[in-house]
């Protein structure tokens, strides 16, 4: 069975008013059903029984600390946190293992969902789970997500991706370049290719074509993994997301208490 380690990205912008409005320094520390949001994610990793080591990037409390192997300070940037987390895992791990990267703001994700994703993941350098729109809307009616319309269907991205840490040096510089271009549409289109971008805009691009083009840009094999687990695509970015997640978690908490009684 494939060995896995995990990096949990729990950092955040100290100027973000959203967590501050809920008495937290970062989103991962907002309380949900009696525990920080990030703790729900850490418990899902533990419950999956597929993850050997966990590195957490960002601030956390004592209960969360008990669920991780190493803590890395927030560097102030998403890519900086990703790189620091993966490097820490590589330096501290004695076995060859692929890396699961997950953000700390997907509290509805469960261990079973993660286990399914890890079991289905192809052994390539970079795997990105995606969820069909109809699956998301059936599971979370009224929820608002960002979707991309492709010829194979309409999808939202997950908040998880899987990578081979031995190849991160090959594709990280290109990811930095793409990230730097995100607010320069012309430059970004030039890198992606105008023909690919046009097909994407009109919904004529296939998943396989997108995989191939992203792989060419990054210099490593890339695959999208369609998952039936909508919760992997539901992160908490705003009040509406928090309301949706609380509505789901509180009944589960009440049911667990009733069973215990």
Query: Each residue of 154-209: pLDDT tens digit?
Result: 999 999 999 998 888 888 888 888 877 766 777 778 888 989 888 988 999 999 99
- DSSP per-residue codes, 90-147: HHH-SS--EEEEEETT-TT--HHHHHHHHHH--SSSEEEEEEEHHHHHHHSTT-----
pLDDT per position as a tens digit, 73-127: 999 888 899 999 999 988 877 566 899 999 999 999 999 999 999 999 999 999 9
Which CATH number covers residue 230? 3.90.550.10
Q: What is the DSSP letter of 180?
A: H
Q: Which structural domain, as residue segments, surrounds residue 66?
A: 4-260
**Number of domains within the chain:** 1
Distances in whole angstroms, Cα of residue 127 to Cα of each of 22, 106, 136, 184: 34, 18, 20, 26
């Amino acid at each position: 069975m494939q060995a896995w380690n995990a990096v949990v990205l729990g950092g955040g912008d100290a100027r973000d008013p959203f967590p501050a409005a809920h008495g937290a320094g970062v989103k991962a520390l907002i309380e949900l059903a009696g525990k920080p949001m990030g703790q729900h994610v850490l418990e899902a990793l533990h419950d999956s029984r597929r993850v050997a080591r966990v590195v957490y990037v960002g601030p956390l409390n004592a209960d969360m600390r008990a669920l991780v192997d190493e803590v890395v300070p927030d560097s102030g940037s998403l890519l900086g946190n990703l790189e620091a987390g993966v490097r820490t895992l590589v330096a501290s791990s004695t076995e060859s293992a692929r890396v699961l990267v997950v953000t700390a703001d997907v509290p509805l994700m469960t261990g079973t969902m993660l286990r399914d994703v890890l079991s289905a993941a192809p052994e390539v350098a970079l795997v990105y789970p995606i969820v069909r729109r109809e699956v998301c809307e059936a599971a979370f009616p009224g929820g608002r997500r960002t979707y991309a319309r492709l010829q194979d269907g309409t999808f939202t991205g997950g908040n998880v991706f899987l990578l081979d840490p031995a190849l991160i040096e090959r594709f990280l510089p290109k990811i930095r370049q793409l990230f730097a271009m995100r607010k320069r549409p012309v430059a970004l289109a030039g890198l992606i290719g105008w023909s690919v971008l046009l097909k994407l805009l009109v919904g004529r691009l296939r998943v396989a074509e997108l995989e191939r083009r992203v792989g060419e840009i990054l210099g490593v094999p890339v695959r999208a993994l369609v998952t039936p687990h909508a919760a992997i695509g539901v992160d908490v970015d705003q009040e509406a997301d928090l309301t949706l997640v609380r509505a789901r978690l509180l009944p589960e908490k009440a049911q667990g208490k009733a069973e215990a009684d």
